């Protein structure tokens, strides 16, 4: 027990260290961009803070700048009295801005854009590391091939309803190429594009058009998603395809008597293609009292085998076969990684602002949710930490450039308006607008944090006992 406690404590400390290093480091890199650009352009820097609110500790450097770490880890700031008045969140300035020379328009644009630029550079460096060391992923998530069409899905009130995918005519083996004209390349992107979609029927029902490839032909299938799960996301009732490559066969077992060997790839049962572990387990269990014709590929060539009757043995493990892990390592190039994150964020943002979409602000993650995801990735593989840090930095860069007061893009908007009208906007007007948006943004933080905490509590609950298995005959695939 003491050893287990020590290992658990060491694991937790390691996770905390990685969160500080990569999440705190992402904020630090952003503010470092502002800091270095300001110093380069001759702008007076009064304070460099990681976090907001009261300081935890601080010191003054030989350059006259106060460096501090503050209590609220919601970001950070560089106090630049010549450029912006944000005393509501940055605190009072000891320097009277009127005594400082005004900064030029070009200087303001360079300094405000530098934070986002540094986040992109940091993300690119991490993407280069991922390109070199690889990114672990499950093989079925790296595809858009459908392996299972569920007969039913469950609504948030636990009511089972017919699967929209089954009603629309989806089949195992279909490969999804696009949703509502938007190209998808993996299962994560497929789910996200479906969730953020804004298609609706004339009577207001969710609607999506899937472009699929089936037996060499391209088809468009119209499906009517239902809002399912705790998050009430659009769902149609499909699961990704899996591969069943044999790792080992137990001597004397039913699978050994059938002639199955290591490295065989199981393709079909009784002539019906099997692409999902649920279908595989259900079919073996439902037909344990009779022989089953197995179709496998061995060294790239098809081979027919016969699995004998096996009363009482309905699972793959009881049949004496172990399948290889579905995990694999991919090596996406840096530009692909960055562009995929940009596209993903665009689709989510467009879904949020589209009134026809079912995607809501409650599905977003704030600082608490981000830290929770960081913690989850630190418990598995350091490469996943790097991957998520890339996502965070791309998000930081794009969000901060949005023309919203308080954000860098808002400062750039004020500076541009002042440039166009020939004089700066009245300081009182700018301060009032920014104060309003400070309240709105912190209210948004509180709102999404509530849902972050609820999700984390729900995910930490033990899984309930599974319901009785639903018999699912494999749907024939070409």
Task: Report DSSP state, residue 83.
Answer: T
Question: How many Cα atoms are found within 13 Å in the side-chain-facing hemisphere of 297?
Answer: 9
pLDDT bin (cut points 50, 70, 90) of residue 430 is confident
pLDDT of residue 472: 36
What is the rounded CA–CA span in Å between residue 183 and residue 190?
9
What is the rounded CA–CA span in Å between residue 474 and residue 459?
31
Strand (E) or helix (H) holding 126: helix 105-133
pLDDT > 70: what percent of the chain? Answer: 91
**pLDDT tens for residues 145-183?**
999 999 999 888 888 999 999 999 999 999 999 999 999
CATH topology of domain 139-237+332-363: Pdz3 Domain (2.30.42)
What is the rounded CA–CA span in Å between residue 51 and residue 72?
5
**pLDDT tens for residues 309-324?**
877 655 555 678 888 8
Arithmetic mean of pLDDT over the chain = 87
pLDDT of residue 462: 60
* Per-domain residue ranges of the chain: 2-135+381-440, 139-237+332-363, 244-325
**pLDDT tens for residues 462-474?**
655 443 333 333 3
pLDDT bin (cut points 50, 70, 90) of residue 298 is very high
> What pTM was computed for the model?
0.84
The answer regarding whether domain 244-325 maps to CATH 2.30.42.10 reads yes
Question: Is the distance from CB of 431 to CB of 438 less than 8 angstroms?
Answer: no
Topology match between the domains 139-237+332-363 and 244-325? yes
**pLDDT tens for residues 199-227?**
999 999 999 999 999 989 999 999 999 99
Q: Which residues neighbour 346 within 8 Å (Cβ) at sequence distance 6 or greater? A: none
Spatial CA neighbour of 38 closest among 67, 78, 77: 78
Higher-pLDDT residue of 85 and 367 is: 367
What is the rounded CA–CA span in Å between residue 167 and residue 236?
9
| CA-based torsion, 399, 402, 404, 407: positive or negative | positive
**pLDDT tens for residues 99-146?**
678 889 999 999 999 999 999 999 999 999 999 999 998 888 889 999
Q: Coil, strand, or helix at residue 383?
A: helix
pLDDT of residue 467: 39
Q: What is the CA radius of gyration of the chain?
A: 28
For the residues 62-81, what does the mean pLDDT come to?
84
What is the rounded CA–CA span in Å between residue 476 and residue 172?
7
pLDDT bin (cut points 50, 70, 90) of residue 91 is low
**pLDDT tens for residues 377-427?**
998 889 999 999 999 999 999 999 999 988 999 999 999 999 999 888 888
For the residues 241-258, what does the mean pLDDT come to?
89
Backbone angles phi, psi at 415, to 5 degrees: -65, -40
């Amino acid at each position: 027990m003491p050893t287990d406690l020590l290992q658990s404590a060491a694991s937790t400390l390691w996770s905390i260290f990685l969160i500080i290093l990569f999440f705190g480091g992402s904020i630090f890199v952003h503010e470092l961009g502002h800091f270095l650009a300001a110093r380069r352009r001759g702008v007076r820097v009064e304070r460099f803070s990681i976090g907001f609110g009261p300081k935890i500790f601080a010191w003054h450097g030989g350059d006259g700048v106060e460096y501090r770490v503050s209590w609220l880890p919601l970001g950070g700031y560089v106090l630049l009295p010549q450029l912006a008045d944000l005393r509501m969140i940055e605190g009072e300035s000891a320097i009277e801005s009127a005594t400082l020379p005004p900064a030029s328009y070009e200087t303001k644009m360079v300094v405000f854009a530098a934070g986002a630029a540094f986040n992109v550079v940091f993300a690119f460096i991490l993407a280069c590391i991922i390109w070199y060391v690889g990114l672990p992923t499950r093989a079925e998530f790296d595809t858009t091939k459908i392996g299972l069409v569920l007969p039913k899905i469950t609504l948030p009130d636990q009511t089972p309803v017919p699967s929209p995918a089954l009603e629309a005519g989806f089949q195992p083996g279909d490969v999804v190429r696009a949703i509502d004209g938007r190209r998808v390349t993996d299962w994560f992107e497929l789910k996200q594009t479906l969730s953020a979609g804004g298609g609706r029927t004339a009577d207001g029902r969710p609607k999506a058009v899937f472009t699929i490839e089936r037996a060499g032909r391209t088809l468009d299938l119209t499906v009517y998603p239902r809002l399912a799960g705790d998050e009430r996301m659009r769902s149609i009732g499909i699961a990704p395809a899996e591969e069943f490559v044999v790792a080992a066969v137990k001597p004397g077992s039913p699978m050994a008597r059938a002639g199955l060997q290591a490295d065989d790839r199981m393709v079909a049962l009784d002539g019906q293609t099997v692409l999902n572990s649920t279908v595989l387990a259900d079919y073996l269990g439902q037909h344990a009292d009779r022989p089953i014709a197995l179709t496998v590929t061995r060294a790239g060539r098809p081979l027919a085998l016969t699995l004998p009757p096996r009363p009482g043995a309905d699972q793959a493990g009881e049949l004496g076969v172990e399948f290889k892990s579905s995990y694999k390592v991919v090596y996406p190039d840096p530009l692909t990684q960055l562009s995929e994150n940009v596209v993903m964020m665009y689709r989510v943002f467009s879904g949020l602002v589209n009134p026809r979409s079912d995607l809501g602000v409650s599905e977003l993650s704030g600082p608490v949710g981000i830290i929770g995801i960081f913690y989850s990735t630190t418990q598995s593989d350091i490469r996943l930490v790097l991957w998520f840090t890339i996502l965070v930095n791309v998000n930081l860069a794009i969000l901060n450039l949005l023309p919203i007061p308080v954000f860098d893009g808002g400062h750039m908007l004020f500076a541009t308006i002042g440039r166009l009208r020939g004089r700066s906007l009245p300081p009182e007007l700018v301060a009032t607008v920014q104060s309003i948006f400070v309240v709105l943004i912190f209210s948004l933080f509180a709102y999404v944090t509530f849902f972050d905490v609820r999700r984390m509590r729900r995910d930490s609950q033990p899984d309930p006992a599974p319901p009785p298995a639903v018999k699912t005959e494999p749907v024939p695939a070409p």
